[in-house]
Amino acid sequence: VFVRTRRHLLVYDAGPAFSPEADAGSRVLLPLLRWRGEPRIDLLMLSHRDTDHVGGAAALLAGSVVGALSSSLVDEHPLLVRARAVDIPHRRCEMGQRWRWDGVDFEVLHPTAADHALVPPPRPNALSCVLRVRGSGASVLLTGDIEAAQEAALLVRTPQEGLRADILFVPHHGSRTSSTTPFIEAVAPTSALVQAAYRSRFGHPAPDVVARYEARGIALSRSDRCGAFTLQSDGGQRCEREAGRRYWHHRAGPAAPG
């Protein structure tokens, strides 16, 4: 996810590795940065260590200018070792961190310092950095792969309205582990975006999770159907496969009858 303010760029997660030679960093994100004319990534936030989130990160560190790194990775993780070698500062993502870029507020809501200190360490999903971004036009909640227990913890400790967001990045690719009803109702988004692989072998997003959003009138967009998806704080939205369709493009989605 690219979060662009007037003068800053935050990149949240770096996508998967496809093979030892190819990953989302080299094949998707670096070309996209170049095409957009982005001179640098001010902050690269890696939600957690699973390869579908950090697989492209080494390519970003090697092929772009990264100002700083935030993550839930342990200090010995190879990506952090690499970042240290080239003097990119790293800060563990932790509840309470906040900053403002160009009038847009960023706040880390999860994990807590206590979560980071747990022995044995929690599963990677449970440590996903949760980031809330609030501009004058719209607010967004980025959730990584948090599951029901983290959603419940967020509900307990986040002050009322603290989870509210216009746009929710559906946790854990729309998996059944997440998107509990109280969480969806606390965030109360008007639209939600599922990031899932095309024909996901995990069945993401789960049909009952999709139904949970639809039952509340929340417009659900899916990366497996849109490819790139653009949201602007003035409300503009662009689903790339729809907006940029060519006659030779395969129409993703339910197969046509017959």
Question: Which positions lie near Zn ion, rule CB under 5 A?
Answer: 52, 145
- Least CB distance from residue 50 to Zn ion, whole Å? 5
Q: Pick the closer one to Zn ion by CB: 43 or 54.
A: 54
CA 95, 98, 102 angle in degrees (round to 5)? 155
Q: Pick the closer one to Zn ion by CB: 2 or 202.
A: 202
- Least CB distance from residue 79 to Zn ion, whole Å? 16
CB 128 within 8 A of CB 150: yes
CA distance 120 to 107: 27
Q: Pick the closer one to Zn ion by CB: 53 or 134.
A: 53
Q: Which two tokens stand for residue 127?
A: 């440590």
Q: Pick the closer one to Zn ion by CB: 52 or 151.
A: 52
- Least CB distance from residue 144 to Zn ion, whole Å? 7
- Least CB distance from residue 194 to Zn ion, whole Å? 12
- Least CB distance from residue 124 to Zn ion, whole Å? 9
Closest CA to 26 of 67, 66, 68, 55: 55
Amino acid identity for residue 87 in this structure: D
CB 239 within 8 A of CB 226: yes
Q: Pick the closer one to Zn ion by CB: 42 or 145.
A: 145
- Least CB distance from residue 16 to Zn ion, whole Å? 9
Residues in the chain: 258
Q: What is the largest CA-CA distance in the chain?
A: 58
Q: Pick the closer one to Zn ion by CB: 104 or 130.
A: 130
